[in-house]
Amino acid sequence: MTMEIICDFDGTVARPDTVDELLEALADPAWRGIEERWRRGEIDSRACMARQIPLLRGGWTAIARFLDERVTVHPSFAPFAAWCAGRGIALRIASEGIDRVIHHLLAREHIAVSSVWASRLAVGTDGTLSLDFSHASGRTYCGAALCKCETFRPSPFRASPMRPIRVLIGDGRSDYCAASRADVVFARAMLLDHCRAEQIRCIPFESFDTVRTVLEHSLTPASERAPIRAAASGSRRQLAETHES
């Protein structure tokens, strides 16, 4: 069995959400009005972020200082990323957040991942900030700044020997449409509520230790598997059934 993992960043790896915290701390108050327009459905997420990021004050220097003082990476993520690398599992960050923010935090924690797919931060000669979405295909299913469904293109086959099992790890609205295209979903917070409401099979988690335990068990030959506790058996059985269906 082979697999590839798409992992959200803000609220999943980094806690709290970096974009929300940056806006609260550094942006002109006008960002709140833009946020309300997004919440009312008047603009999509891409338009919302494109208008909010230029309102951040202090340039990249202020952003980097804030990240180092206020934002943490969940302690279970570094060993999880190392485990993925040791297993040869592609671990890709796909985020509606900001690429430079993600790279900064991963470098600070000495964490390596296969790739990072996020909105690109552009810094003008005068220090002004903007977002560049040119590397996205332009196709969007949900109005997200970068639609994660681009990473899970529709396939006539569910998990099969013809392609890796596609695993999604996430926590929020930007993961909703990708959850319906993934083979296995690990969910927390808003994504967990959404999956339950939409009857999308998912595995609840709070720590990447849980994700690793479930995936590690699925990759171990049946003859070598240790007995598992009843409380965890449902999650692990779900992954096995997904692979076999």
Q: Which two tokens stand for residue 141?
A: 């299913």
pLDDT above 80 for 108 = yes
The pLDDT of residue 245: 44
- The burial of 244, by beta-carbon neighbours within 10 Å (0-12 exposed, 13-18 middle, 19 or more buried), is given as exposed
Question: pLDDT band at 231, cuts 50/70/90?
Answer: very low
User: What is the biggest distance separating any 2 CA atoms in the chain, rounded to whole angstroms?
Assistant: 63
pLDDT of residue 144: 64
